[in-house]
Amino acid sequence: MVRSSARLASAAVLAVLFHPCFSAIAQDAQAQNAPAPAASPAPTAPVFPKPDPADFTATTPTKEVVAGFMQANLGFDENNVWQIQGIQKTQVEGVSKVTVLIGDKTGRQQPSRLAFFTLPDGKHIIINDRIIPFGERPFADYRSMVQQRANGPYRGAAAKDLELVEFADFQCPHCKEAQANMEKLVADFPKARIVFQNYPIAAIHPQAVTAASYATCVAKQAGSTAFFQFAAAVFEGQDGLSSPDGATLTLNSAATKAGLDPAKVAACATTPETKATVDASVQLASDLNINSVPTLMVNGRQVPANAPYETLKSIILYQAKLDGVAQ
């Protein structure tokens, strides 16, 4: 994926690790679009080939660590199954190649082969052109970073035991679509802290930075409640952000709906302090290796915020369970 609006697609194995719910999205789409099949035997769970002991030449990572990593990523769905097929030395000291076979108990999908390289720090892997967290608790470091630096307006609990942080761009159509999910999460997870972080992608959404600046000032001047009123109005009128003049009208109208003086908000939006706040939020997204919107960080775990809601909810419940957070 590139640093742009999120697209729900594809690459089964890669997507599973970055955004596990993509797997379920792909399955749902296939089920809805596929023609009725001819009568055939019911699918069965995959039978993986027996691992060859000769493919386990590296001492790190251990099978237990790899299994923990896979469980953390795929355990939210009881139908997911996998088998570690090899952990091999490479020509680079401290870098191992791990191969895993992935399938599902229902037999609806053909097993996939996942290969990645573990780095000497034991905390990261390289898969295709991405570096992502690794280990039995792969999301712990990102969770800590989010707890320390995600300071946007929030709804729900003040405590950060279960923290759901949405990174979004006001001009992004997929972010607008994701707001229905976010409203459901507010209702279904009253014990969660649900935070909004600006992540304007100016390269494709020229008015997004201005919208983020207005939003920052609304939150500063009137708090979280006013911010979410403002945000809802901006997303509702998103088409108005297609031009500078339209953006001014849309943002001023949204500020008024939130009970603020649009002139004061506009003045605040041009200050260096506001720019620094928006830049810090963008930097946090970069440091978390977020490269698409809308992204939801669930205690440090990346999930697309516009995923099917029941899948999103399952992942949140599972991550809460892993982190020992009662719901």
pLDDT of residue 5: 39
Q: Which two tokens stand for residue 181?
A: 């999910």
Q: Taking Cα atoms as reference points, which of 192, 116, 201 lies closest to residue 159?
A: 192
pLDDT in tens, the chain (327 residues): 334 433 332 223 334 444 433 433 333 334 444 455 555 566 777 889 999 999 999 999 999 999 999 999 999 999 999 999 999 999 999 999 999 999 999 887 788 999 999 999 999 999 988 899 999 999 999 999 999 999 999 999 999 999 999 999 999 999 999 999 999 999 999 999 999 999 999 999 999 999 999 999 999 999 999 999 999 999 999 999 999 999 999 999 999 999 999 999 999 999 999 999 999 999 999 999 998 999 999 999 999 999 999 999 999 999 999 999 987
Last residue of a domain, one of 118, 136, 154: 136
Residue 19 domain-assigned? no
**Are both 93 and 153 inside the same structural domain?**
no
**Are both 150 and 109 inside the same structural domain?**
no
226 three-state secondary structure: helix
**Are both 74 and 94 inside the same structural domain?**
yes
pTM: 0.85
DSSP result, 42-80:
PP----PPPPPGGGB---SS-HHHHHHHHHHHHTTSTTE
Last residue of a domain, one of 112, 136, 160: 136
The domain tally of the chain equals 2
pLDDT of residue 4: 41
From residue 320, how far is each of 54, 90, 159, 185, 250 by CA, in Å?
Answer: 38, 36, 14, 14, 38
Residue 250 domain-assigned? yes
Q: Are 221 and 260 in contact (CB under 8 A)?
A: yes
**Are both 63 and 122 inside the same structural domain?**
yes
Q: Which two tokens stand for residue 226?
A: 């006013």
pLDDT of residue 48: 93
Domain extent, residue 287, equals 141-322
pLDDT of residue 41: 62
Region of 76 (left: φ > 0; alpha: ψ -120 to 50; beta: rest) is: alpha
pLDDT of residue 44: 78
Q: Are 3 and 67 in contact (CB under 8 A)?
A: no
Residue 214 domain-assigned? yes
Cα R_g (the chain), whole angstroms: 22
**Which CATH number fits the domain that encloses residue 227?**
3.40.30.10
pLDDT of residue 225: 98
**Are both 312 and 180 inside the same structural domain?**
yes
**Are both 145 and 241 inside the same structural domain?**
yes
How many Å is the maximal CA-CA distance in the chain? 70
**Are both 98 and 201 inside the same structural domain?**
no
